Structure 1
Amino acid sequence: MTVEPAFIHIVGIGLDGEAGLSDTVRQIVHQASLLVGSDRHLSYFPTHPAQRLILGDFNQAIAEISLRLEIDPKIIVILVSGDPLFFGLGRLLLTKLPAEKLIFHPQLSSVQLAFNKIKVSWQDARVISIHGRSLDELTKTLQQGSDKIAVLTDATNSPSAIAHLLESLDLASSYKFWVCENLGGEQEQIRCLPITEIKSQTFAALNVVVLLKDPAVTQPINLDNLPILGLPDSTFISFSDRPGLMTKREVRILILGELALQPEQIIWDIGAGTGSVSIEIARLCPNSRIYAIEKTSAGSTLIEQNCQRLQVENVTSVYGTAPDILANLPAPDRIFIGGSGGNLTEILDTCETALKNSGVLVLALATVEHQHTAMEWLRDRTWETNLLQVQLSRSVPIASLTRFSPLNPVTLITATRDIISGL
């Protein structure tokens, strides 16, 4: 086979070196007049007669390749890992060199190899590179509760760093943690390890982490070790498809304060979701009765499961859509609205009729539009009103450092119904 000159061949290669190349690609490499790659990649061809260019500074190397292409249009081969267009050098080459001069010869990617080694389909996996990048995308993906995540690591963002991050996020979901080292090589090692063990280990530089969510496993809780106020988010079983849909611990504490709770009250929690606010109230006020109103059957079931999990008996899960479902409930002393299902004005009208004199209404609003609707509703009423804009960030580890990851901003509106307006 004779290879045409004046083209640049980008050849993906694995840890098995030349042996893993097809006959066609091997012939292309053998006819190269310039061989470009890292020390490791070039070492796979120790007797190759071509000139060699070590990939150190990518931009400098590409400039040299471009010059060679102009003055001496021979066969140039660039050796890279796996698939050049999968988090590889190929994307950079396409921005710096004429696309019509580039020919790609991909090898199996490390992610392909990893999923095939652990025998899990990966067409629906999230693939994230933290090689020379921040952990922001991985943090968001974990918080969203993605079922399958493949992570390309580096020396700083190592499996150990990922384990520390996973632990710090306080997720309700549990993940199986696979570390796949030296894929395709003689020292290949595939292990599923507990996070506590991963945190204290070092791994081969060439590794891929695969995180698989286990929907059947929820982190166990020890009731004796739980705080009186401010339960960790991981305490609650959450929606499997929307694990982040929960009033976060820090915001929950503020809501409890704004409600100005007292003993032996009737409390409505409208749009209760997982029941986290209701359960916090129930634990603080065991002689009060809380009605957790949720329009989805999945949410209503979660509320019941979380009540059983935390041995709370003074929360009643009410399945139905507000405001219609509110008609048969006893008049409340306190109302919290965490979700309205698009019926905010109608819900507020019902709450105005039902709420006892000197009662307190607290709304947690995530959008400007809902905040505007609520304030318009309150404008012509004599209720005492207070707004609190909540913008919080949690610390997360970044290797040996720490940064802040913001929670979604929330506006809390507290309205106290005075005795005169209730007459």
Structure 2
Amino acid sequence: MTELWLQIIGIGEDGLAGLSPDTRAALGAAEVIVGGARHHALASDEALAAAAARGEVGWAGAGAPDASSARPAVERIRWPSPFNALVERIAGFEGRRTVVLVTGDPLWFSAGARLAEAFPDAVIHPQLSAFQLAAARLGWRFESCTPLTVHGRDAVAIRPHVQPGARLLILASGPETAAEVGALLVEDGYGASPLRALSHVNGPKEAWTEAPAHAWGEGRLPPHPGLTTLAVACVAGPEARLAPAVPGLADDLFAHDGVMTKREVRAMTLARLAPLPGGMLWDVGCGCGSVAVEWMRAARGARAVGIEPRADRRALAAANARRLGTPGLEIREGTAPDALAGLPAPDAVFLGGGLSEAAVDAARAALRPRGRLVANAVTLESEALLLALHGRLGGDLTRISISRAAPVGTRTGWRPSMDVTQWSLET
């Protein structure tokens, strides 16, 4: 591979002026420049020629002082369509000095991160991110903010991060994103939260608009420009839903038909499943999806596949995934072990339904190293199976007994729920 043939450069609204001398030199030496229309405009031939005339960058392209003795004209490439062809297209330029221009920090919610994985020898030229610029304009301590993106994603994904006092910085997907986010905040009881849309920060077109979330959600403000960062200071109203990332959400936050893993048992189950960033869960017999949803909320980038034979419960799981901000939950029809074939390898498996030796064996065979398997039982038959599995495979057995205070005539007493036997195993 030609040494240093690929350079990934983050560029901001201030264009060439915001680049370091080394970065400008890499751009000026490029034989191929790849980027979107906006990136090419910020680093146009005219801009590079003007910088060369000032001695700020070497440039042998159109308009350069030494263009007559220059190398061949620079080839400019727009983002390929479909965008997924980006890696293959750029690989074809190997051996030529190639620059890819991206917005802001190349490794933060950017195509630059995908390219860095595909081409580990690429040189990365960092830039201030839209998050940092927005925080600076607002005077927010950056470590107290949560950076998010809904660019090309469902806006409901912000919901796990909407908490009293939270400060969210959100990359918008398009002109209507502020209205979508405002409507979500109103629905969750945060309609009074100040929401500021900051556009083209640090450039000549910089502008911002601020209003309460409910004003955005009601469509009383014009659409913001497409290149916008939303800043939300979350203010919980009296009707706000409290839905922290810690497992054990209130049962009434889920739509269900009465059959679900209840709050206390769910918290203990998730503690055994141990959600980790980027981890994959199989939720077998997922019902209304409560365990899978909480798994995804508990760790950044956590993924889950729910297996459920009943269509009505799959519909409940899909509704809960949107309601609680995990639209990426994949829900499949089927029963174990047959439905487990071909799924992505799991880091954890929960058998909340469809418990059988065959399902356990299939799950164990699929688990990654340090994988966790958890099964819950409430019937005598299922408990007997867990006892047998514990005898054969080891692991931990736990009996979970929950009682709640309830009226007893004119007084109050403890009303027990059905005991749950829980078996857990680490591979």
Whether 1:355 aligns to 2:408 is yes
**Structure 2 equivalent of residue 118 of structure 1:** 138
> Offset at 1:241?
10
Paired with 1:134 and 1:359, the residues of 2 have a C-alpha distance of 46
Whether 1:93 aligns to 2:115 is yes
- From the superposition, tell whether residues 362 and 51 of structure 1 become closer, same or farther in structure 2 (CA, over 3 Å): same
Deviates more, 1:123-132 or 1:150-159: 150-159
Paired with 1:115 and 1:190, the residues of 2 have a C-alpha distance of 13
User: What SS is found at the alignment partner of 1:123?
Assistant: helix
> Offset at 1:54?
0.9
- Kept in 2, the 8 Å contact 1:131–1:157? The answer is no
- Kept in 2, the 8 Å contact 1:122–1:148? The answer is no
| Identity score, percent | 22
**Structure 2 equivalent of residue 39 of structure 1:** 37
- From the superposition, tell whether residues 165 and 371 of structure 1 become closer, same or farther in structure 2 (CA, over 3 Å): farther
- Kept in 1, the 8 Å contact 2:9–2:106? The answer is yes
Whether 1:129 aligns to 2:153 is no
> Offset at 1:60?
3.2
- From the superposition, tell whether residues 113 and 360 of structure 1 become closer, same or farther in structure 2 (CA, over 3 Å): same
TM-score normalised over the length of structure 2:
0.50
Whether 1:210 aligns to 2:231 is yes
User: What SS is found at the alignment partner of 1:107?
Assistant: coil
**Structure 2 equivalent of residue 227 of structure 1:** none
**Structure 1 equivalent of residue 92 of structure 2:** 67
**Structure 1 equivalent of residue 420 of structure 2:** 372
- Kept in 2, the 8 Å contact 1:10–1:103? The answer is yes
> Offset at 1:176?
2.1
- Kept in 1, the 8 Å contact 2:174–2:225? The answer is no
**Structure 1 equivalent of residue 213 of structure 2:** 195
> Offset at 1:35?
0.9
- From the superposition, tell whether residues 36 and 240 of structure 1 become closer, same or farther in structure 2 (CA, over 3 Å): closer
1:110-189 equivalences in 2 (<5 Å): 110-142=130-162, 144-145=163-164, 147-155=166-174, 158-171=177-190, 174-189=192-207
Whether 1:52 aligns to 2:105 is no
- Kept in 1, the 8 Å contact 2:14–2:202? The answer is yes
User: What SS is found at the alignment partner of 2:203?
Assistant: coil
Segments of 5+ residues of structure 2 without an aligned counterpart are: 49-60, 62-73, 259-399, 422-427
- From the superposition, tell whether residues 177 and 362 of structure 1 become closer, same or farther in structure 2 (CA, over 3 Å): farther
- Kept in 2, the 8 Å contact 1:14–1:108? The answer is yes
Paired with 1:249 and 1:61, the residues of 2 have a C-alpha distance of 41
User: What SS is found at the alignment partner of 1:132?
Assistant: coil
Query: 122, 125, 149: which is aligned to 1:105?
Result: 125
- From the superposition, tell whether residues 64 and 240 of structure 1 become closer, same or farther in structure 2 (CA, over 3 Å): closer
1:103 is matched by which residue type in structure 2? V
Segments of 5+ residues of structure 1 without an aligned counterpart are: 221-232, 255-343, 374-423
Paired with 1:250 and 1:31, the residues of 2 have a C-alpha distance of 57
2:111 is matched by which residue type in structure 1? L
- Kept in 1, the 8 Å contact 2:155–2:180? The answer is no
- From the superposition, tell whether residues 357 and 169 of structure 1 become closer, same or farther in structure 2 (CA, over 3 Å): closer
Paired with 1:33 and 1:108, the residues of 2 have a C-alpha distance of 25
| Root mean square deviation, CA, Å | 3.9
Q: Highest Rg: 1 or 2?
A: 1
> Offset at 1:59?
3.7
- From the superposition, tell whether residues 27 and 361 of structure 1 become closer, same or farther in structure 2 (CA, over 3 Å): same
> Offset at 1:14?
0.5
- Kept in 1, the 8 Å contact 2:14–2:203? The answer is yes
- From the superposition, tell whether residues 346 and 81 of structure 1 become closer, same or farther in structure 2 (CA, over 3 Å): closer
User: CA offsets per residue over residues 202-221 of structure 1, 9 Å max, x none?
Assistant: 1011101111134xxx637x
> Offset at 1:150?
1.2
Paired with 1:359 and 1:65, the residues of 2 have a C-alpha distance of 71
Paired with 2:226 and 2:216, the residues of 1 have a C-alpha distance of 14
- From the superposition, tell whether residues 90 and 372 of structure 1 become closer, same or farther in structure 2 (CA, over 3 Å): same
- From the superposition, tell whether residues 345 and 56 of structure 1 become closer, same or farther in structure 2 (CA, over 3 Å): closer
TM-score normalised over the length of structure 1:
0.51
- Kept in 2, the 8 Å contact 1:82–1:110? The answer is yes
- Kept in 2, the 8 Å contact 1:117–1:190? The answer is no
User: CA offsets per residue over residues 89-119 of structure 1, 9 Å max, x none?
Assistant: 122113433x12x000011000000011000
